[in-house]
Amino acid sequence: MECAVCESAEALPFRVVDGVAFHKCTSCGSIFADPEFLARVDAGLVGNYRDDYWASEMVAAIERSYGSTLVRVAETFYYARRPIRKFIDIGTGSGVLLDAVSTLLPSLGRFFHGVELFPPPEEHRSTHPNYHLGQLGDLADIFDAGVCIEVIEHLTPATLRTLAAQLAARSAKGALYYFNSGQPAFVESENPGYLGPFGTGHIVSYSIAGLSNVFGPAGFNVIALPGRQWAFLLEFGPKTPVGSPELFDRLWHPVAENMAALAIDPFGNLFRAMGQESARCYLESATAQERTRWALGLASTRQTLSAVLETRPAARFSQFVSLFRRGTR
């Protein structure tokens, strides 16, 4: 079976969830529901956002919007390489994030927008003036940054490609977006119950490689976030590699205008602190783990080298050369 995400490799059976077969790509590593099921979703025969979904999701959405999502907004102000003058919440749901930002950062609240294609019942929707119903492509504004929290795992690859094209059309050069969505490593090692076509509505777990295939043609650079198997950044512009050193540099040298914008309101100082410290915690923890693995690997190599030096002289040189070549790759 061809991968529904990268469309260039074979996919093998992964597991069956709620009677729907899921497959995993042997190349990009993405996990996706059976293509026939995805086609039914695209045709509108299966819906992920019905009233019963929102009835169970509203509490969690409010908790995120007044909690962890605000932290992600703050991180985005650090990671962005351009001044943020318009911010978009993609798939905003009830729009409660707009209310949360307006409460804590009233000076910035009017610059925040939210768009939702499958909104909850009207009584749950925000009255914020920038709460928009419809597709991202329906908006006229150009955005500098944004977030997309717990959305794309509900979208088929075809729908996500449409979103990528619409986001590119609405993005300023260098615009940066924080996406939160469980990747395959998260599904396999941290949350086996993540997938659920009829419960959670999670029908695809996109890998970084798969996301690059979807967003790359639209002009985005997909940036992995070390230590997070459930988040990544999109940057609209040159596709240059961005690793931990570059991410650290952004945290220590953020755009001055963005920091000044956060400092206008009293709680802006809280945003500045939690944005930098949250990002640092993940980055520094991932860096420490990587260096620990390197050190353990070095210790193992030394033990092997000691064993080689104790062997017969004729075999010693050949094994030493083999070990040296392996270590310099």
**Average pLDDT, consecutive stretches of 10 residues, N- to C-terminus, the chain (329 residues):** 90 96 97 97 80 71 92 98 98 95 95 94 93 96 97 97 98 98 97 92 97 97 97 94 95 98 95 97 93 74 66 57 58
For the chain, what is the domain count? 1
Q: Who's near 203: CB < 8 A, 6+ residues apart?
A: 32, 33, 37, 38, 41, 48, 153, 154, 155, 156, 195, 197
160 within domain boundaries: yes
- The answer to whether position 289 is within a domain reads no
Q: Looking at the domain assignment, is residue 128 inside a domain? A: yes
| In-domain check, residue 267 | yes
Residue 196 lies in a domain: yes
**Nearest alpha-carbon partner for 33 in 50, 53, 48:** 48
In DSSP terms, which residues pair with 162 in a beta bridge?
Answer: none
- Domain, as residue range, for 131: 48-275
**Both tokens assigned to 73:** 């907004």
Which residue, among 64, 25, 30, 44, has the nearest Cα to 148 in the 3D structure?
64
Question: In the prediction, which pLDDT does 278 show?
Answer: 97
171 vs 146: CA distance, rounded Å: 10
User: The domain that contains 136 carries what CATH number?
Assistant: 3.40.50.150
pLDDT at 51: 59
β-pairing, 143-149 vs 171-180, is parallel
Q: Give me the helices (H) in 190-255, please.
A: 208-215, 244-252
- Note the pLDDT of residue 9: 77
Give SS3 for 173.
strand
pLDDT given for residue 307 in this prediction:
67
* Residue 251 to residues 77, 80, 107, 137, Cα–Cα distance (Å): 9, 10, 23, 31
Q: Is residue 19 part of a domain?
A: no
Residue 288 in any domain: the answer is no
